[in-house]
Amino acid sequence: MARFKNKKKVFVKPVSSKKQANVDHVTGDKIPRSFVFSRCKLPGPLRQLQADLRKLMLPYTALKLKEKRRNNLRDFLNVAGPMGVTHFLMLSKTPTAPYLRVARTPQGPTLTFKIQEYSLAVDIARSQKRPRCPADLFKNAPLIVLSGFGTGEQHLKLTTILFQNIFPAIDVNTVKLSSCQRIVLLNYNKDTKLIDFRHYSIRLQPVGVSQRLRRFVQNHQVPDLRNLQDVSDFVTKAGYGSESEADDEAATVTLANDLGRVNRAASKSAVKLQEIGPRMTLQLMKIEEGLCSGGVIFSEYGNGDGKKKEDNHEDEDNDDEDEEIDEEDEENDEEEDGNDIDQN
């Protein structure tokens, strides 16, 4: 009679996904999180802009957020609470221009911006001779820099507070230099009343070190010394792009600790910014007290005694926009119903 071998049971350890912390272990503040989605059907370039904004908000955003046509603002708000989402970035499109709404959940305020101009990240990369995008560039949240908002006007103060709180706060005494790899710059022009939105990557280069030596240390490659008489020729030889990278004294910093193989502590390094996109030119149109609703705190069309008139005017604009979205949804639903009938 044949014997059966007792097979050993293999225990498979369940893979546990590492959850992100909700509170910063250094500052003790709640880490802001965001949703980037659209309020209507977007054309191709605006869908790509939405993807670029999601990538910009990494790592504290839903990169692969899937939306359905029937989802309304309340659906996103119901999910935002359990997931700790604090801000909404909503893109929409009207026959005249695209709009970006930035809202604080769950009770507002909501800032509505008109997108005057925009460039996608892929367009900016194509315009550069050497685009830079390391693999770990989006591992940490970007720094935020606001310029030109200190005019004392109430609507600019609200804009400053909202954008300052949309990214995690940092402690300059304990922050790691390796985590500061990106920066978001918002510059307000008081003459044109436009906001320039830019997204850069940060890299440091040691001052007084030639480009040849930097590449040799960083790439771990043996240099070509066949045409040189001595190793010192490789070190002291001028040229090879060093003239075009003159170090500006105003753009140099002294590092507190080592950063990589080239930048050492107590040594001077030049700060280089390279744009990675997206790029936008925004115009603040209005500020609402609630989440896409409530009283109008600021309106580009006028303030003061005509506040109630402004509220009615803005509500009419919102109603018209919502009606356009509803009409598109109804048309799409009718098309789907027609397809289902044809299939039956």
Structure confidence at residue 107 (pLDDT): 92
Please give the mean pLDDT across all residues of the chain. 78
Q: How far apart are alpha carbons 341 and 335 in whole angstroms? A: 10
Is position 265 within any domain? no
Q: How far apart are alpha carbons 201 and 56 in whole angstroms? A: 11
- Residue 341 pLDDT more than 60? no
Mean pLDDT, range 241-247, rounded to an integer? 39
Mean pLDDT, range 306-324, rounded to an integer? 46
- Dihedral of CA 202/204/207/208: which sign? negative
Is position 262 within any domain? no
Q: What is the CATH number of the domain that holds 102?
A: 3.40.50.10480
Place of tokens 């507070």: 161
Which residues contact residue 4 at a Cβ distance below 8 angstroms, ignoring those fewer than 6 apart? none
Domain count, the chain: 1
State both tokens at 23: 């509170």
- Residue 123 pLDDT more than 90? yes
In this prediction, residue 295 has a pLDDT band, given cuts at 50, 70 and 90, of very high
pLDDT tens for 97-115 read 999 999 999 998 999 999 9
Structure confidence at residue 306 (pLDDT): 40
Is position 251 within any domain? no
Structure confidence at residue 336 (pLDDT): 47
- Residue 258 pLDDT more than 90? no
Structure confidence at residue 248 (pLDDT): 55
Is position 15 within any domain? no
- Residue 31 pLDDT more than 70? yes
pLDDT tens for 186-231 read 999 999 999 999 999 998 877 766 666 666 555 556 666 667 676 6
Which residues contact residue 183 at a Cβ distance below 8 angstroms, ignoring those fewer than 6 apart? 142, 143, 144, 145, 199, 200, 201, 202, 273
In this prediction, residue 240 has a pLDDT band, given cuts at 50, 70 and 90, of very low
Is position 43 within any domain? yes
- Dihedral of CA 303/306/307/311: which sign? negative
pLDDT tens for 70-79 read 889 999 999 9
Domain range for 126: 34-204+276-301
For the ranges 60-74, 201-215, 288-302, the lowest mean pLDDT is seen at: 201-215
What does pTM read for this prediction?
0.73
CA 280 from centre of chain: 12
Name the residue type at position 108: G
State both tokens at 76: 């996103």
Q: Which helix (H) or strand (E) holds 286?
A: strand 279-288
Is position 73 within any domain? yes
- Residue 163 pLDDT more than 70? yes
Structure confidence at residue 210 (pLDDT): 61
Is position 93 within any domain? yes
Q: How far apart are alpha carbons 324 and 95 in whole angstroms? A: 10
Is position 80 within any domain? yes
Q: Highest-confidence range of 5-9, 313-317, 338-342, by mean pLDDT? A: 5-9
In this prediction, residue 304 has a pLDDT band, given cuts at 50, 70 and 90, of very low
